[in-house]
Amino acid sequence: MNWKQRGTALLAVLATAAVAGSAATQTQAQTKPIKIGYPVILSGPGALIGEPSMKGAQMFVDEQNAKGGVLGRKIELVVRDTKGNADEAVRVARDLILRENVDFLFGTLTSAEGPAVSPIAKENKIVFVVPVVKTDQLTAKENLHPYVFRTTTNTTIEGRTAAEIMAKWPNIKRVGTISPDYAFGQDVTRAFVTHLKKLRPDIEIVDQQWPKLGEADYNPFINAQMAKKPDAVFSSLWGGHFVTFAKQAKALKYFESFNSNFLGAGEAGAIETARAMGDDYPMGIWANSYDAFNWKDGPPAHAEYIKRLAAFTKEDPPSSWPITGYIGMQMLTAGIAKAGSTDSDKVSKALMDITVDTPIGKQTIRGKDHQANRAQFWGKMVKDPKYGFAVMTPPIYIDPLPFMD
C-alpha cells in the first residue's frame, strides 16, 4: 500500500467512524477491528489445502482493509490450527468466541470439522461462514440453523455435475467407481451414481472400489477394477491420495484400458497435483478443480484476480485453493456491509439470498438452505508445453442451478 492509498483509507475510516460514532454511543467499539475467528488445518496432511485456502482469505482481507475495511472498521483474522481434528476444531472455536471475543466464525476444512463446529455457532448465536467443507450434512434440514452458511460447493453438486458430464460421453455402458472409504468419498459417489442412473438408465455400475483414506497401495484395487472391464470410471480420490493412486494405476495401464474415460472429482485437476506429478499425470483424463488460472471464458475480474494472487503468493501460475477462502470472506464481508452491523442476527438475515460479484462471476447464497450456487471447473487434462505439466484444456465452469435440489 502506498502513502496515497493509505491516506485515502485513513480518511475513509475516519469519515465512517465519525458518522457511526455520532449515531452510536460507543465510539471506541466502532474503530476497533472486526474480529473473525478462523479455525483451519495448518498442520498434518490437510494443511496442503488449509494453508492456500487461508491465504486467499487473507488476501481478500488485506485488499478490503486497504479500501478502508467494512463499516469503517478494519477486518482482523484470528487464525488457529485445528490439526485436522474435529474435537480440536470445536475447542478452538469455543476459545475464539470466549477469550478472543470474535464477532464471527469462518473456516474449518474437513467434513468432520464443519458439522462439529456448526452447533457451537448456533449455541453462541454467531454467524459461521464455511468456505471449504463439502459434506451435505452441514446444511441438511436437520442440521440447518440461522447462523451457518456455506460458500463452497457440496457433495451433491459435485457428484451430480460429474454425472452430467459422463452421461454425455459416447459409448459408455459399464461404469466403475473408486473413492476413499469415508464420509466425503461415500457421499459424492452416491450423488454421482444416483444422478447418473437417472440420466442414463441404460448404464450399469459394474464395480465399486473403496480403498481406505490414506491407502498407500492401490494395486489390488486397480487390478480388481480392471478385471470388471469398465468403459469409464468415476473417482473422488483427492490430493496426495490421487497422486499415489494415479502413479500406480498408470504403471498398470489402467487408464489405457478404458481410453482415459476417467473422471476425477475431489480436485484431481488442482494445479498442485498436476505440478507435483509432471509427466506422470494420466494425460487425457477429465478432472475438476476450484479454480483455473487459464480460464479464457471467464470475466475480466477473474484474470485480474489471478494476477493479484500470483503476486500475493509469489507463485505463478497460482494455486487453485485460495479462491475458496477469498470468495467466502468476500461473501461474509458483503453480508456485514449489507446488514450495516456486526450483529450476527442482522448479518444472518443479510446473507440470505445475497448475491455477490466474485472473481468467478455472480454467486448467490440461497435463503432456503444457506448454500451458495458454487460449482467447480471441469475439463480434460492435457500436457501444456509451456508449463510442462497437465493443465485443464479448456476449463469449463458448470453452473449447478439446474440440478440443485
Partner 1 sequence: MLTPSFLLAQFQSGLTAAMFLFIVASGLSLIFGVLRVLNFAHGSFYMLGAYMAWQVTQWLGAASVSFWIAVPVAAATVAILGGVIERLLLRHLYGREELYQLLFTYALVLILGDAARILWGTQQLAVPRPPLLAGSFDVMGIVVPHYNLFIIVLGPLVALGCWLLLSRTGTGRMIRAAAWDREMLSALGADVGRLYTLMFMAGSFLAGLGGALVTPVRSITPGMDVDIIVECFIVVVIGGLGSLWGTFLGAIIFGQVLAFGILILPGFSLFAVFVLMAFVLVVRPAGLLGRPVKR
Q: Give min distance, CB of 149 to partner 1, in A.
A: 27
When binding is defined by CB under 8 A, the residue of 1, 24, 44, 399 that contacts partner 1 is 44
140 or 251, CB closer to partner 1?
Answer: 251
Locate 169 and state its grid cell.
460421453
Locate 180 and state its grid cell.
476413499
What residue type is 93 in one-letter code?
A
What residue type is 269 in one-letter code?
G
Binders of partner 1 among residues 245 to 274 (CB under 8 A) are: 247-248, 251-253, 272-273
Q: Give min distance, CB of 217 to partner 1, in A.
A: 4
User: Would you give the binding string for partner 1 spanning residues 111-130, x where CB under 8 A is met?
Assistant: --------------------
What are residue 167's DSSP bridge partners?
A: none
Measured CA to CA in angstroms, residue 391 lies from 5, 74, 131, 152, 209 at distances of 37, 38, 24, 22, 27
Residue 190: CB atoms within 10 Å: 16
Q: Crossing angle of helices 239-251/47-66, nearest 10°?
A: 130
Contact between 23 and partner 1 by CB under 8 A: the answer reads no
- What does the alpha-carbon distance between residue 140 and residue 161 come to, in Å, rounded to a whole number? 19
The window from 40-48, 102-110, 120-128, 292-300 that contacts partner 1 (CB under 8 A) reads 40-48
Residue 21: CB atoms within 10 Å: 17
Element (H, E) at 209: strand 204-209
Grid coordinates 452421461 are at which residue?
A: 167
The window from 13-21, 38-46, 128-136, 368-376 that contacts partner 1 (CB under 8 A) reads 38-46
Binders of partner 1 among residues 277 to 296 (CB under 8 A) are: 277-280
Contact between 51 and partner 1 by CB under 8 A: the answer reads yes
Element (H, E) at 148: strand 148-150
Contact between 184 and partner 1 by CB under 8 A: the answer reads no
When binding is defined by CB under 8 A, the residue of 276, 283, 310, 382 that contacts partner 1 is 276
The answer to whether residues 185 and 265 touch, using CB atoms and an 8 Å cutoff, is no
Binders of partner 1 among residues 205 to 224 (CB under 8 A) are: 208-210, 212, 214, 216-217, 219-224
Residues contributing to the site for partner 1 (CB under 8 A) = 43-45, 47-48, 50-51, 181, 208-210, 212, 214, 216-217, 219-224, 227-228, 239-241, 243-244, 247-248, 251-253, 272-273, 276-280
